[in-house]
Structure 1
Amino acid sequence: MTLQQRARSSTGEHERRTMVSYPYDPEVDMVVSYAPPLDLTDIAAARELLAQATAGLPPFQPEAGVELTHLDASGAGDNPPVDLYMLRPSGGPTGQGRPALLWFHGGGFVLGDARESLPFLDAAVRLTGAIGISVQYSLAPEATFPAPIEEGLAALNWIVAHAEQLGVDPERIAVGGQSAGGAHAAGLALRLRDEGGPKIVFQLLDIPVTDDRLITQSAVEYTDGLVWNTKNAQLSWRAYLGDTGEPVSPYAAPARAEDLSGLPPAFITVNQFDPLRDEGIEYARRLAHAKVPAELHLYAGTFHGSSGIALAAEVSRRQNSDLVAALGRALAATVPVKDERN
């Protein structure tokens, strides 16, 4: 059952919503007006709406040849404990450890669950032979920055410390995420570059959040975007950053980093009619200018998160397959990251 069908079944058949018309891809347009509305004015209500939309669905089961394990990455020292969901090819490790992807789910910092990323990771595991690990990070406003980054770092440290047991090659670990999860992945990459720690070899950033200022042309123009809009983006940043009065850290909003050199190569996707489109494009441009290998794909006629809603659309299948293919290329032939600042 698609998210479109879930929303219909949980809220009842309803009239097509009135909205500004965008030239969506024809296959995306078939579901675009039935996509579930999202309003972060009341975060608890938004969470309840999503819970209703998925209620009664069977638990995720990986495809044949892939096994799922729930891990308790207990923190060492001051590191927080983190729940992880690991997908790996069945049969256990043989010889050298497998490459791995540490993944952060989307949800505007305030919504979502690590398990909702498992279908994507299942495909990535089957097609690349890598291990996929989804992080159950804490949500805002209950947990503000830097909690998810601390949890991501704790997860990464735990994976490296248990690499042999998990069958992971510690020299071939990538980080990635969708939307707000992309902010966490990019922020973690920046922190590792600046403070040291386990090496990561690649960033897989799917429609990433990067900039809390929301001043790009797309953020200004697409204020009524489907599923995600500028108002939701503002509310999500407010929940995540809290009201500390402190300058915004680049580990929270990666676009605020003054220097992007020395980071791992990146693959970035953006959707055309998305308020976050231009901040993703700009982040890719700045990475390229900093001599970081960066590949950017913009998908025509799409909206924020459409690849997870309009699943049957060819453009959605292409976006997801492009992400998996980029991961496979990166993990099959990784090289040490060169820090151009030195």
Structure 2
Amino acid sequence: MKVTYKMIDKQLRLRGRLYNLLITKSSEAKYIEFMHTVKKQTENRKGKTIKGLQLREEWITRKDGSKLRICIYTAHNPKKEIPGVLWLHGGGYAQGIPQLFANTYKRLIDAKDCVIIAPDYRLSIEAPYPAALEDSYAALLWMKNHAKELGIREDQHIVGGESAGGGLAAALSLYARDTKEVNIAFQIPLYPMMDDRMTSESARENNAPIWNSTTNRWAWKLYLGELFEKDVLVYAAAARATDYRNLPPTITFVGDIEPFRDETIQYVSNLKEAGVPVEFELYKGCYHGFDIISPHAEISKKATSFFIESFKYAVDHYFVEQN
């Protein structure tokens, strides 16, 4: 899908162009080098929080003996028996740390008292699939098993994320359904990265700002490693799923000029056909991550309002029996 400058929402154009000048790389090797550089830079952000939130850290031991860092965000005077939200950060599976998305946590906590559990999952530049999924699932089980001490409800575990984090949330919902160890009340995979095949119209030859077909292909190659361009499991690429029954109610949105448009629309359609409640919006003239890149644009405010209002509704209406 070829994207022209005029197709982009007017308030998003400048930020999109400037951002492209900063991150555009001419080769796959330079993209990987850039991901490693970003990782080093974000290391300095660990331990920082945002005004109005409390942050503490826990460490989970993986099967190999290494440690997984978990960031726990709450209000300064958190209530008890409130929802627990496992939030998985974006970054193409290759970059990012939980602290970079603290503004989202603040919006969620301000909207409905909740506890945010944000794992610092392994990135693809360090370990390909299934490392990130394993870390995400470990954090979900930890959230369930520590619900009482975290002050969260046992019947309202929520998963969400943006971009790659949204793809992980969708994959995690499939994995949790199939393993039957923990039930998810609802999920929030925002503009999720979940189809490695890249065969849809929006994913082919997409040249939109921020994220395009080229960077998407490089990111999937990093994430899947030796499995790239093979018939991978649905837990690696959730769009490959064929059975959508018994998945949790879903909240999502996507821009209409970004690579993930069609896979998100198809995902929403599949969920609805399986009888899963879905709240979905498609935003015209919006590239990938527009709400984060240009948060003050009117269309970004509209998308954020939709996301938060849908979250508030879901908290009031969707509960599950825990195993």
Decide whether the 8 Å contact of 1:261 with 1:287 is kept in 2: yes
| CA-to-aligned-CA distance 1:16-73 (integer Å, 9 cap, x gap) | xxx9424222211232211133437134432366469879989744333x32222223
Picking from 57, 77, 102, the partner of 1:91 is 77
Q: Is the 8 A contact 1:43 1:110 kept in 2?
A: no
Q: Give the aligned residue type for 1:149.
A: L
Distance 2:24 2:103 in 1: 22
Whole-Å Cα distance in 1 between the matches of residues 265 and 10 of structure 2? Answer: 24
Give 3-state SS (helix, strand or coil) of 2:256's partner.
strand
Contact 1:98/1:168 (<8 A) preserved:
yes
Query: Partner of 1:183: helix, strand, or coil?
Result: helix
1:132 CA drift (Å):
1.5
Residue of structure 2 aligned with 1:209, choices 193, 210, 216: 193
Q: Which amino acid aligns with 2:157?
A: I
**Selected match of 1:73 from 49, 60, 83:** 60
Map 1:245-260; keep pairs closer than 5 Å.
247-260=231-244
Which amino acid in structure 2 is aligned with residue 288 of structure 1? K
| Cα deviation, residue 280, structure 1 | 0.7
1:45 aligns with 2:33: yes
Q: Is the 8 A contact 1:182 1:206 kept in 2?
A: yes
- SS state of the match for residue 218, structure 1? coil
Gapped regions of structure 2 (runs ≥ 5): none
Distance 1:162 1:54, change over 3 A: closer
- Closer, same or farther: CA 316–59 of 1 in aligned 2, 3 Å: farther
Distance, in Å, in 1 between the alignment partners of 2:309 and 2:294 is 20
Tell me if structure 1 keeps the 8 A contact 2:90–2:163. yes
List per-residue Cα deviations over 1:80-111 (Å, max 9, x = no partner): 642111111222444xx210110111111111
Does the 8 Å contact 1:210/1:283 carry over to 2? no
Cα distance, 1:131–1:291 mapped onto 2, change above 3 Å = same
SS in 2 for 1:210: coil
Q: Which position in structure 1 is the counterpart of 2:221?
A: 238
What's the CA shift for 1:332? 2.1
1:82 to 59, 68, 92: 68
CA deviations 1:205-229 (Å, max 9, x no partner) are: 111012111011111242x121111
Q: How many residues align?
A: 314
> How far does residue 114 in structure 1 lie from its aligned partner after superposition?
1.4
Q: List gaps (5 residues or longer) in structure 1.
A: 1-18, 338-342
Tell me by how many angstroms 1:315 deviates: 1.0
Could you state the TM-score of these two structures normalised by the residue count of structure 1? Answer: 0.84
Report which stretch shifted further, 114-123 or 22-31: 22-31
Aligned to 1:285: 269
Separation in structure 2 between the aligned mates of residue 249 and residue 334 of structure 1, nearest angstrom:
28
Could you tell me how far apart the structure 1 residues matched to 2:46 and 2:250 are?
34
Q: Alpha carbon RMSD of aligned pairs, Å?
A: 2.5
Equivalent of 1:313 in 270, 291, 297: 297
What is the CA-CA distance between 1:320 and the residue it aligns to? 2.0
Aligned residues of 2:160 and 2:188 also touching (Cα < 8 A): yes
Report the AA paired with residue 180 of structure 2.
G
| Counterpart AA for 1:144 | P
In structure 2, do the counterparts of structure 1 residues 57 and 84 end up closer, same or farther at CA, with 3 Å as the change threshold? closer
**Structure 2 counterpart of 1:237, one-letter code:** W
CA distance in 1, matches of 2:49, 2:174: 34
Measure the CA separation in 1 of the matches of 2:136 and 2:44: 30
Structure 1 residue 271: deviation in Å?
A: 0.9
Classify 1:51/1:196 alpha carbon distance in 2 versus 1 (closer, same or farther; 3 Å). closer
Residues 108-138 of structure 1: CA distance to partner in whole angstroms, max 9, x if unpaired?
1111111111111111111211111212110
TM-score computed with the length of structure 2 as normaliser: 0.89
2:18 alignment partner, SS class: coil
Given that residues 37 and 226 in structure 1 are in contact (C-alpha distance below 8 angstroms), is that contact kept between their aligned partners in structure 2?
no
CA contact (8 A) 1:87 1:132 kept: yes
Secondary structure at 2:279's aligned position in 1?
A: strand
Provide closer, same or farther for how the CA distance between residues 105 and 293 of structure 1 changes in structure 2, counting only shifts above 3 A: same
CA–CA distance in structure 2, aligned partners of residues 229 and 133 of structure 1: 30
Please give the alpha-carbon distance, in whole angstroms, between the structure 2 residues aligned to 1:191 and 1:57.
31
1:227 is matched with 210
Q: Residues of 1 paired with 2:43 and 2:184: CA distance?
A: 37
CA distance in 2, matches of 1:298, 1:53: 33
**Secondary structure of 1:336 counterpart:** coil
Spell out, residue by residue over 1:147-180, the C-alpha distance to the aligned partner (whole angstroms, 9 max, x if none).
1111111111111111111111121011011111
Q: CA deviation at 1:243?
A: 1.2
Percent identical pairs in the alignment equals 29
* 1:28 correspondence with 2:16: no
Give 2:155's aligned residue: 171
What is the CA–CA distance in structure 1 between the aligned matches of 2:105 and 2:185, rounded to whole Å? 18
Q: 1:150 to 1:128 in 2, by over 3 A?
A: same
* 2-structure distance, mates of 1:30, 1:132: 32
Distance in 1, matches of 2:110 and 2:210, equals 30
How far 1:202 moved relative to its partner? 0.6
